[in-house]
Structure 1
Amino acid sequence: MTLFAKLSTYDDRSARLAGIGLMLLSIFMFSFGDAMGKFIVATYSVGQLLWLRACAALLLLLPTIWKQRAEFTRLERPGLQLLRVTLSTFEVAAFFLATVYLPLADVITYYLAAPIFVTALSGIVLGERVGWRRWTAILIGFGGVLVALRPSAQTMSWPAMIALGGSLSFALLMLITRSLRATPDIVLASSQFAGTFVLGAVLSPFGWVAPSGGHLVLFAAAGCVSVGALLCVNRSLKLAPASVVVPYQYSMIVWAVIFGFVVFGDVPSWATIAGAAIIIGAGLYIFLRERELGREDAVVSPPA
Structure 2
Amino acid sequence: MPEPASAAGSRPASATLIGMALWVAATICETAMVGCVRIVSQDLHPLQVVFLRMFCGLVVLAPWLLRLGAAGLRTTVFRLHALRSGLQVMAMTMWFASVPLVILADIAALSFLAPLFATAGAMLLLGERVGWRRGLALLIGFSGVLVIVRPGSSFNIGWGLLILAAVFWASALLVIKRMASSETSPCMTAWATILITPVLLIPAVFVWRDPSWTQWALMLAAGLAGTTTHLLMGQSFRYAEASAVMPMDFARMLWITLLGYMLFDETPTWHVWVGGALIFAAATYVTLREARLARRR
Q: If the TM-score is normalised by the length of the shorter chain, which range does it land in?
A: 0.7 to 0.9
CA spacing shift, 1:296–1:51, aligned 2, 3 Å: farther
Is the partner of 1:211 in helix, strand or coil? Answer: coil
Change (3 A) 1:17 1:151: same
In structure 2, runs of 5+ residues without a counterpart are 1-8
The whole-number CA distance in structure 2 between the counterparts of 1:18 and 1:107 is 27
Distance 1:246 1:124 in 2: 25
Q: Distance in 2 between matches of 1:75 and 1:165?
A: 30
Q: Which runs of 5+ in 1 are unaligned?
A: 1-8, 298-304
Q: Is the 8 A contact 1:26 1:230 kept in 2?
A: yes
Q: Within the alignment, does 1:240 sit opposite 2:240 as a pair?
A: yes
Divergent runs of 4+, >6 A: none
1:165-205 CA-partner distances (Å, limit 9, x unpaired): 00111112222222222423333223333344224311222
Could you tell me whether the CA contact under 8 Å between 1:50 and 1:196 is conserved in 2? no
Q: 1:38 to 1:183 in 2, by over 3 A?
A: same
Hey, what's the Cα distance between the residues in 2 that align with 1:193 and 1:260? 29
Change over 3 Å in CA distance of 1:231–1:219 after alignment to 2: same
Could you tell me how far apart the structure 2 residues matched to 1:248 and 1:125 are?
Answer: 30
Distance (whole Å) between structure 1 residues aligned to residue 52 and residue 262 of structure 2: 25
Cα 1:139–1:256, aligned 2, differ >3 Å: closer, same or farther?
same
| Shift in alpha-carbon separation, 1:52–1:288, aligned structure 2, 3 A | closer
Q: Conserved in 1, the CA contact under 8 Å of 2:89 and 2:200?
A: no
Amino acid at match of 2:168: S
Residue 172 of structure 1: aligned partner: 171
> For the structure 1 residues 191 and 105, does the alpha-carbon distance in structure 2 shift closer, same or farther, using more than 3 Å as the test?
farther
Greater Cα offset, 111-120 or 195-204: 195-204
Q: C-alpha separation between the residues in 2 aligned to 1:274 and 1:11?
A: 34
**Partner residue, 2:261:** 261
Q: Deviations over 1:51-80 (max 9, x none)?
A: 222222212211221221234542142211
Provide the aligned C-alpha RMSD in A.
Answer: 2.3
Cα gap change, 1:211/1:296 in structure 2, threshold over 3 Å: closer, same or farther? farther
Q: Which has the higher contact order (CA 8 A, sep 6+)?
A: 2
Distance 2:152 2:14 in 1: 49
Relative to structure 1, the CA distance from residue 209 to residue 68 in structure 2 (aligned partners, 3 Å threshold; closer, same or farther) is same
Does residue 1:189 correspond to 2:186, yes or no? Answer: no
- Per-residue CA deviations over 1:223-269 (Å, capped at 9, x if unaligned) read 11111111111222344333332332222111121111111111112
| Equivalent residue number for residue 281 of structure 1 | 281
Q: How far apart in 1 are the matches of 2:72 and 2:284? A: 36
- The whole-number CA distance in structure 2 between the counterparts of 1:108 and 1:191 is 27
Percent of residue pairs bearing the same amino acid type: 26
Q: State the partner residue of 1:147.
A: 147
Distance, in Å, in 2 between the alignment partners of 1:251 and 1:71 is 38
